[in-house]
């Protein structure tokens, strides 16, 4: 027997039209209200100077640092060489890039499970560049109240000057950001010289314009919408959160009921909590949320609301921590567990992969050998009655210095190598070396014999070997 579910026709009722008292209607396509953030100082904002700014300085400075008479970090796509300080990577090393991205993903999983969304709040480029653009707003248009008032004013000469100056700084920062990014792929000194002479190549000009517009739009206009709607991290972070993950949270037991009061007033007898409902935590939030509504995916853990609330608590002589970094278990007065299986799993995988990656980089041989056997002729008999096979050795010098290599052959001791046994290969050069291998047919044990070519640096610093086959006539 099944229970009947009562139904109610709301087709013509005022409730369906949002006319009933206490009901709100929302237009899904309404224009988003602009967020005016208030400037705030505090411990966590000073902490951001030691997280975001070093990455920012490194981004702008690295292309200008010279390393062995070249740019320290340069991704030379036309020559398929990727220089990172003293190491040069090649397309053959792209497996390492995939490995590095997997390590970065596990690092993000580990940090998110442990500390929440701190990457977004302290080191994400979107957050750092948005902070720069907000600074430009503050120095050109004034504080939060002044910006709100300015936007409501009719257009005047003063308003045009302020807006033009702000957007000029935005475009300047965007252009410098774009030039620096393109400078990782084109020597930046040449790029700046070309820009000064208006003589940039079509691709350099396109990508400089593209990243200028992208930076200007993302940090100047989209801002929190990038974090809330465009960034996938905002959506899948919940899969890594648990009740022991560090989050920014409001303590409702301390804060409720909210209400204004005079400093020094005995607010407890009036049934009020520590929250004076000043709205400062909302005004400083870069995504415009009210942290007092609970954990929300829009929160980027920037701790601006913590610094704002702590400042108010100090003025009211209340203890700090009404809004603080905590966990759901601590808010519920339960004992937490830092060493949980998911966090340990991420950490263990991260350590193992990082060690293996470091070992691979450290033991990487900057020399590669490819052997191409002559397929037009299985073997050839020489005038001396010897059996000869022809090969082309492709020697790739992956180091940044010219090297001299010696070519040797291993296998049966009676094999003889014909051709250049010592070759000089420039840095980054692929040298094709034709060689011939001969042997007396009476000494050949089979029609298909494995042999090994070895290429060794004259200074014995590096060597590589590769196996191939030697073919001869059928033995009767």
Q: In terms of domains, do 73 and 180 share one?
A: yes
List the domain range (segments joined by +) for residue 321.
242-331
> The domain spanning residue 422 has which CATH number?
2.60.40.10
- Across the chain, which has 476 residues, the per-10-residue mean pLDDT values are 51 47 54 86 92 91 90 92 89 89 94 93 93 95 95 95 97 97 95 92 95 96 91 84 94 94 86 95 95 92 96 94 95 88 94 95 89 88 92 90 90 82 89 92 88 91 91 79
Domain match, 257 and 302 both:
yes
Based on the domain organization, do 228 and 256 belong to the same domain?
no
Query: Do residues 152 and 187 share a domain?
Result: yes
The total domain count for the chain is: 3
Contact 453, 408 (CB under 8 A): yes
Residue 20 lies in a domain: no
Cis ω for the linkage preceding 233 (within 30 of 0): no
DSSP 8-state symbol, 91 = G
Give the H or E element holding residue 435.
strand 430-439
Give the count of beta carbons closer than 10 Å to the beta carbon of residue 263: 9
C-alpha dist (Å) from residue 52 to 30, 121, 304: 34, 9, 15
With respect to residue 10, please indicate whether it lies within any of the assigned structural domains.
no
First-to-final CA distance of the chain: 89
Q: Is residue 358 situated within a structural domain?
A: no
**79 lies in the same domain as 192:** yes
Domain boundary among 214, 237, 260: 237
- Report the pLDDT value the prediction gives residue 87, as an integer from 0 to 100: 87
Same-domain pairing of 260 and 195: no
Q: What is the pLDDT of residue 399?
A: 85
- The model's pTM is 0.82
Which one of 331, 358, 387 terminates a domain? Answer: 331
CA distances to 271, 276, 278, 323 from 255, in Å = 11, 8, 12, 9
Give residue 27's pLDDT.
Answer: 59
390 part of a folded domain: yes
């Amino acid at each position: 027997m099944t229970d009947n579910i009562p139904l109610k026709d709301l087709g013509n009722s005022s409730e369906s039209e949002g006319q009933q008292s206490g009901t709100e209607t929302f237009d899904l396509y309404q224009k988003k209200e602009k967020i005016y953030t208030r400037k705030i100082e505090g411990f966590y904002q000073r902490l951001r100077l030691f997280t975001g700014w070093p990455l920012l300085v490194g981004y702008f400075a690295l292309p200008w640092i010279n390393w062995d008479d070249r740019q320290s970090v340069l991704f030379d796509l036309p020559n398929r060489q990727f220089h990172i300080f003293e190491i040069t990577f090649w397309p053959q090393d792209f497996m390492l890039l995939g490995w590095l991205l997997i390590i970065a993903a596990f690092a993000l999983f580990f940090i998110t499970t442990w500390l929440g969304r701190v990457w977004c709040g302290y080191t994400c480029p979107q957050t750092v560049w948005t902070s720069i653009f907000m600074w430009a707003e503050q120095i050109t248009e004034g504080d939060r109240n002044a910006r709100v008032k300015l936007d409501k004013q009719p257009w005047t000469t003063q308003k045009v000057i302020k807006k033009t100056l702000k957007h000029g700084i935005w475009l300047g920062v965007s252009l410098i950001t774009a030039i620096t990014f393109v400078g990782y792929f084109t020597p930046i000194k040449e790029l700046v010289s070309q820009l000064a002479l208006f003589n940039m190549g079509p691709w350099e000009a396109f990508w400089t314009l593209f990243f200028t517009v992208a930076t200007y739009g993302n940090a100047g206009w989209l801002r929190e919408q990038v974090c809330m709607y465009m960034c996938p991290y905002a959506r899948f972070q919940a899969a890594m959160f648990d009740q022991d993950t560090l989050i920014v949270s409001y303590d409702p037991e301390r804060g409720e009921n909210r209400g204004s009061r005079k400093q020094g007033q005995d607010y407890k007898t009036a049934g009020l909590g520590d929250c004076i409902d000043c709205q400062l935590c909302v005004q400083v939030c870069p995504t415009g949320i009210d942290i007092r509504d609970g954990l929300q995916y829009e929160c980027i853990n920037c701790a601006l609301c913590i610094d704002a609330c702590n400042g108010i608590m100090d003025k009211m002589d209340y203890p700090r921590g009404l809004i603080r970094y905590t966990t759901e278990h601590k808010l519920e007065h339960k004992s937490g567990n830092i060493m949980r299986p998911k966090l340990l799993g991420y950490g263990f995988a991260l350590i193992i992969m990082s060690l293996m990656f470091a070992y691979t980089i450290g033991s990487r041989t900057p020399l590669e050998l490819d052997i191409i056997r002559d397929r037009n002729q299985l073997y050839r008999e020489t005038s001396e009655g010897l059996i000869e096979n022809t090969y082309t050795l492709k020697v790739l010098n992956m180091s940044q210095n010219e090297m001299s290599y010696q070519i040797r052959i291993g296998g049966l001791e009676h094999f003889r190598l014909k051709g250049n046994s010592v070759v000089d290969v420039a840095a980054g050069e692929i040298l094709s070396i034709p060689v011939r291998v001969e042997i007396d047919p009476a000494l050949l044990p089979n029609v298909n014999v494995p042999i090994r070519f070895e290429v060794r640096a004259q200074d014995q610093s590096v060597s590589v070997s590769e196996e191939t086959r030697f073919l001869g006539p059928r033995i009767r």
